Amino acid sequence: MQKIYSLFLIIALLGCNEMPVNNTVVNGIVKGLQKGTLYLQKFQDTAYVTIDSIFIKGEKEFQFTFKLEEPEMLYLGRSESLDTERIPFFAHIGTTTINTTLKRFSFDAEIDGGPQQKILEDYNANIERFKNLDLELLENLLNAQLINDTAKVEQTKNRRATNLKRQYLYSINFAVNNTSSEIAPYIALADLYDAKKSYLDTIYNSLSPAIAGSKYGVIFKDFIADLESAE
C-alpha cells in the first residue's frame, strides 16, 4: 500500500512540474466600459489569434495572467474581428499596465511596461512626426493639383520623397542603435520590409547574439534569406 501511495505521489509531482508557470501580467482599466469583453491577442501568420479574453462588468480592472516565452508584440482588443480597434504593446516578462478610455480606446492608451515598450514609444513618437509631415504635404499636393500649379506639384512631390527617405534612414539608424533589444528586428520587419537588402543586412549583422536568436531575430533572418533566394 505504501508503494502504491508513493507511486501516485510521484505521478502527481511530475504532473505539477508540467503545468505552465505564468510569468506575465497585463492589467489596467478601460474608463467608460461598463460591460463588455476584452481580448488579449497576438498576430500570427496573417491573422490575430486570441490568447485569452475577459468579461468586464462595472468598469473594473481587467487582468490577464499567462506565460510569455519572450518579449513580443501583443494586442488588446475589444472584439475578435479583423477591423476592430486594438492597442498594440510590446509585452515583456513582468507586468504591463494599460489604462485607456472606451471612447478613444487606442488613442488614449497609456502603457506602463518593460524596456522594449519604452524604446518602441520613443521610436513611434519620432515616426509620428514624419507621418504628420507627409499628411501635410499630401494636402498641399492635392491643393496644388486642383489649381494646376505644376511647379508647386513637383516641389511638393520632391519634399514628400525627401521626407520618406529621412524616415527610412531614421528607422535604420534607430534599429542599428538598439541591436540589443527585440525592437531592432521588429522595426526592420514592420517598417523596413521594402528597404534595400544591404540596409537589412547591416541591421541583422549588428544584432546581439541573443536578439538574433529571438523570435523576431529568427523571422528577420528568414525574411532576408527569402529575399536572397528571390534575387
How confident is the model at residue 25, as a pLDDT? Answer: 98
189 vs 34, 163, 175, 203, 220, CA distance in Å?
A: 37, 20, 11, 11, 6
d(CA 99, CA 63): 12
Three cell numbers, residue 103: 471612447
d(CA 21, CA 221): 30
**pTM value?**
0.86
Mean pLDDT for the chain? Answer: 92
Which of 17-26, 57-66, 173-182 comes out lowest in average pLDDT?
A: 17-26
Average pLDDT over residues 200-221: 97
How confident is the model at residue 7, as a pLDDT? Answer: 45
Domains of the chain: 2-112 (2.60.40.1120), 117-230 (no CATH)
